[in-house]
């Protein structure tokens, strides 16, 4: 009888330990599953982190500010480059032009300076077209004038010795006088007849363009 009770007690203890072991294993498995779920939850939280709208706005502002800053630097650099190029071109142009002093006429020898022009009265005689070519060879044209004062000045210079060709022509006889550059003379300058215009101390008159006469050339004074 005692032997049976002892065997039952041993069996009960064995079963108890077995049950406790199984319970412990189940508990460990539950804890491991909970840890795994926590780990997954943590990873998901990391993935799903969202930047607040305010921080996104700040980031965009920083990007826009950076782009604007770079653009501003580029514009300033271009402005400096263009300014230097303009200055360099201006200096080159100044170096190419002759320097004029206050007393410098800049008119060639035997030319007359007046009304911001240089005038040349020839000593040889040519037709009107030959006279225009001779003036062109000197870097000028047959004389043109816009005012009474300029015309009176040339009339006095010509004197009574000879009539001189100047730059008006109406060779076709259509009453449309033109300067050598194709422009019309002022309204007060009226010439009768046709052909080419000549100037003397008596005034202006027309003549055959083939006639041989002195001539007056004019060109701009470079220092005026």
Domain span at residue 86?
Answer: 2-94
Domain match, 7 and 80 both:
yes
H/E segment holding residue 162: none
Q: Is residue 101 part of a domain?
A: no
Q: Assess whether 53 and 133 both reside in one domain.
A: no
Q: What is the structure's pLDDT at 97? A: 44
Yes or no: say if 213 and 124 are a contact pair by the CB < 8 Å rule: no
Do 67 and 119 reside in the same domain of the chain? no
Cβ(134)–Cβ(142) under 8 Å?
no
Confidence of residue 152 (pLDDT cuts 50, 70, 90): very high
Closest to 124 in 3D by CA, of 218, 215, 217, 219: 215
The answer to whether residues 41 and 134 belong to one domain is: no
Q: Is 61 among the domain residues?
A: yes
Q: What is the DSSP letter of 103?
A: T
Measured at the CA of 125, the angle between CA 163 and CA 121, to 5 degrees, comes to: 60
Domain count, the chain: 2
Give tens-digit pLDDT for 44-102: 444 555 656 666 666 767 777 777 778 788 888 888 888 777 777 655 554 444 445 44
| Total-model pTM | 0.53
Distance CA 197, CA 145 (A): 13
Q: Are residues 138 and 215 in the same domain?
A: yes
Q: Which residues contact 134 (CB under 8 A, 6 or more apart)?
A: 122, 126, 215, 217
Residue 138 pLDDT > 90:
yes
Pair 156, 201: CB distance under 8 Å: yes
Distance CA 145, CA 180 (A): 12
Average pLDDT, stretch 33-43? 61
Considering 31, 65, 94, which residue would you say is the last residue of a domain? 94
The per-residue pLDDT for range 105-137, each reduced to its tens digit, is 578 888 999 999 999 999 999 999 999 999 999
Which of 60, 94, 128 is a domain's end point? 94
My answer on whether 88 and 116 are in the same domain is no
Same domain, 117 and 215: yes
């Amino acid at each position: 009888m005692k032997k049976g009770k002892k065997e039952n007690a041993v069996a009960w203890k064995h079963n108890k330990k077995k049950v406790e072991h199984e319970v412990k294993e189940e508990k460990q498995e539950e804890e491991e599953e909970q840890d795994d779920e926590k780990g997954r939850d943590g990873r998901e939280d990391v993935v799903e982190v969202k930047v607040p709208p305010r921080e996104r706005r700040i980031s965009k502002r920083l990007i826009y500010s950076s782009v604007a800053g770079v653009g501003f630097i580029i514009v300033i650099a271009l402005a400096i480059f263009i300014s230097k190029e303009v200055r360099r071109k201006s200096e080159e142009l100044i170096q190419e032009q002759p320097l004029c002093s206050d007393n410098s006429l800049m008119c060639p020898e035997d030319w007359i300076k007046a009304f911001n022009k240089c005038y040349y009265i020839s000593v040889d005689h040519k037709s009107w077209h030959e006279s225009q070519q001779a003036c062109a060879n000197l870097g000028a044209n047959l004389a043109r004038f816009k005012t009474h004062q300029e015309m009176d000045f040339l009339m006095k210079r010509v004197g009574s010795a000879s009539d001189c060709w100047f730059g008006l022509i109406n060779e076709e006889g259509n009453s449309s006088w033109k300067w050598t550059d194709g422009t019309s003379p002022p309204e007060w300058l009226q010439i009768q007849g046709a052909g080419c215009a000549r100037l003397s101390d008596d005034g202006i008159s027309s003549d055959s363009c083939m006639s041989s006469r002195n001539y007056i050339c004019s060109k701009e004074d470079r220092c005026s």
